[in-house]
Structure 1
Amino acid sequence: MSKRSQSPLPVPRDRGLESLEPQPTRAAAHIVLVHGRQGSGRATWTHADYHIFWPDWLVDDIKNAGVFTLSYDSTIKYYQSTTSTVTIDNYSDNLLADLSDMREKTGSCDLPIFFIAHNLGGLVCANALVRTLQKTEPDTKNVAEMTRGILFLGTPHEGSDLAKWADLFAIFLGIEKGSGAQKNIKFLMTDSTKLRELSENLAALLRRRNESGDPMQKINVVCFWEERSMKILKAK
């Protein structure tokens, strides 16, 4: 494997890949949970009333799997306080860099990867897989090659009307036109060209992998979606 460069963007200490303990001595697979808009690597997966962090059950029930959460800043507060050009592409590149770095350092590049992704996190994962087609680094491409399953939870593959409301909030919050925050909001629009291209490219990638005839290339996909309304500023 080639030596990895640093992540494409600086990652604060409360951002990036977190390993849930205890980790198995020799894992047989990696499970990575990626939160959505307004979420975090802990709060998204924690029951608000009972304060139960359910990924701990994965550690208990699937003892031969290494379980990780990925955190990135997708909060309204972050959007309000920055004029950064950070976009979903940067989030996806950081996911690839963090995961490939961990796997190379632990000598686990041969392990299958399963993603559990909520909301925007599903688009971050999908975009990461598609972007590996444009990359040449072996360890980055390894993440896509070893992905065996994705569980999408409420991921807006066809866009979200909520993003139109978010666009109004962007104006209210004074988010700079052309900033990364505004681009991320536009990305989630139901009429987003980039989102449509991502859906088409992901479908083509899955079709190619699943029709290759090699069972080890197949990526299993399961989608769940919400049927109850949610408050726009409380989405996790």
Structure 2
Amino acid sequence: MPSTQGIESGGELHELHIPPSGTPKQIDIVAVHGLNGDSHNTWTHIPEGGKGPQTLWLRDLLPGKLPNAHVMSFQYDSSTHGMSEQSVRGNAGKLVRLLRDKREDYEEEERPIVFIGHSLGGIVIKQALKHAKDHDFTDIYAHTNGIVFFGTPHRGADAASWAATLSGILSAASRKPPSKFLEALKNDSVELRKISEDFRPFGGRFNIVSFYEEHAHRLLGRVVVDKSSAIMGLPNEDPMMLGGNHSTMCKFGVGDRRFDPVWRAIRRAAKARQA
């Protein structure tokens, strides 16, 4: 498997699978990683002990189930203590522009789109669709059929719990200024509330699947994003519990039974909603 080291932190849209020319009914699948994530590693299963092949399921498993899928993964600087000045809104705008350019390159601007977001990535997706709607990226807004969320904190994550998790992961947490993303994810975040309020009026037009984590994070001792925050409560939303903690719920190896409901959810999300 190609190494994922050295991936640039700036905004990029990496193509992980391109269907052969002439494949009928192609769809665009766009994955967006979360806080401290990566366009490849967030979605990569590493065997226990680090022995054996790694599995980037977006590339290694999904095309086997959905061979018509053009799979892409958005890379942006979401480090908790990085120096990026980009906010959720800034990166959402960047995602929309990169996707527009990619679709123009293939001259397939009417191809259905499914977004997949882990944690903060789901917030970026909601804001990206708002941006597309308001700034004349009509092909992206109009042709987005569905969204699949993995542990997205629509109502925020407990600030103390989130900070405790991060401090356990990052030894240098106290030495660098906090990222704007941390502020956006707090329960009392004005930005998060505004993004959620802006999304709700048009969120009913999409097929939505919201996976929430089943298992506690080993450092925190409880789930990072609880069910009440991971579910928006929209009538068109299909909430599903998924095995794994906040980090592992979006990583699947070969033979992982959790992958079956996930690829099926993506397939359902790709279908046009009935009027």
Match of 1:214 in 2: none
The TM-score normalised by the length of structure 1 is: 0.76
Query: In the alignment, does 2:208 pair up with 1:221?
Result: yes
Match of 2:129 in 1: 129
Q: Deviations over 1:123-158 (max 9, x none)?
A: 01011011223313xxx2321111000000000000
Amino acid at match of 1:19: E
Query: In the alignment, does 2:149 pair up with 1:152?
Result: yes
Amino acid at match of 2:216: S
Partners of 1:26 and 1:93 in 2: CA distance: 31
- Residue 224 and residue 13 in structure 1: after superposition, are their counterparts in 2 closer, same or farther (change >3 A)? closer
**How far does residue 13 in structure 1 lie from its aligned partner after superposition?**
7.5
On the 8 A contact 2:10/2:77 being kept in 1, the answer is: no
Match of 2:93 in 1: 93
**How far does residue 165 in structure 1 lie from its aligned partner after superposition?**
4.2
Query: In the alignment, does 2:71 pair up with 1:67?
Result: yes
- Residue 162 and residue 66 in structure 1: after superposition, are their counterparts in 2 closer, same or farther (change >3 A)? same
Query: In the alignment, does 2:57 pair up with 1:58?
Result: no
Mapping 1:156-195, distance limit 5 Å: 156-162=153-159, 165-166=162-163, 172-175=174-177, 181=179, 183-195=180-192
Partners of 2:215 and 2:9 in 1: CA distance: 34
Runs of at least 4 residues off by over 3 Å = 11-15, 162-171
Match of 2:14 in 1: 18
Match of 2:140 in 1: 143
State the Cα RMSD in Å: 2.7
Match of 2:234 in 1: none
On the 8 A contact 1:26/1:64 being kept in 2, the answer is: no
On the 8 A contact 2:9/2:75 being kept in 1, the answer is: no
Partners of 2:210 and 2:15 in 1: CA distance: 25
Partners of 1:148 and 1:21 in 2: CA distance: 20
On the 8 A contact 2:151/2:246 being kept in 1, the answer is: no
Count of matched residue pairs: 204
Amino acid at match of 2:174: F
**How far does residue 52 in structure 1 lie from its aligned partner after superposition?**
1.4
On the 8 A contact 1:34/1:121 being kept in 2, the answer is: yes
The TM-score normalised by the length of structure 2 is: 0.66
Partners of 1:69 and 1:165 in 2: CA distance: 25
Secondary structure of 1:39's aligned partner? coil
Partners of 2:19 and 2:160 in 1: CA distance: 38
**How far does residue 75 in structure 1 lie from its aligned partner after superposition?**
2.2
Match of 1:45 in 2: 43
Secondary structure of 1:20's aligned partner? strand
- Residue 175 and residue 53 in structure 1: after superposition, are their counterparts in 2 closer, same or farther (change >3 A)? same
Amino acid at match of 2:104: E
Structure 2, unpaired ranges of 5+: 1-6, 221-244, 248-275
Partners of 2:29 and 2:145 in 1: CA distance: 10
Q: Deviations over 1:37-78 (max 9, x none)?
A: 1111111111121511111211122111211111112124xx
Secondary structure of 2:213's aligned partner? coil
Higher mean Cα deviation, 198-207 or 118-127? Answer: 198-207
Partners of 1:104 and 1:48 in 2: CA distance: 35
Q: Whose RCO is larger (CA < 8 A, sep 6+)?
A: 1
On the 8 A contact 1:163/1:186 being kept in 2, the answer is: no
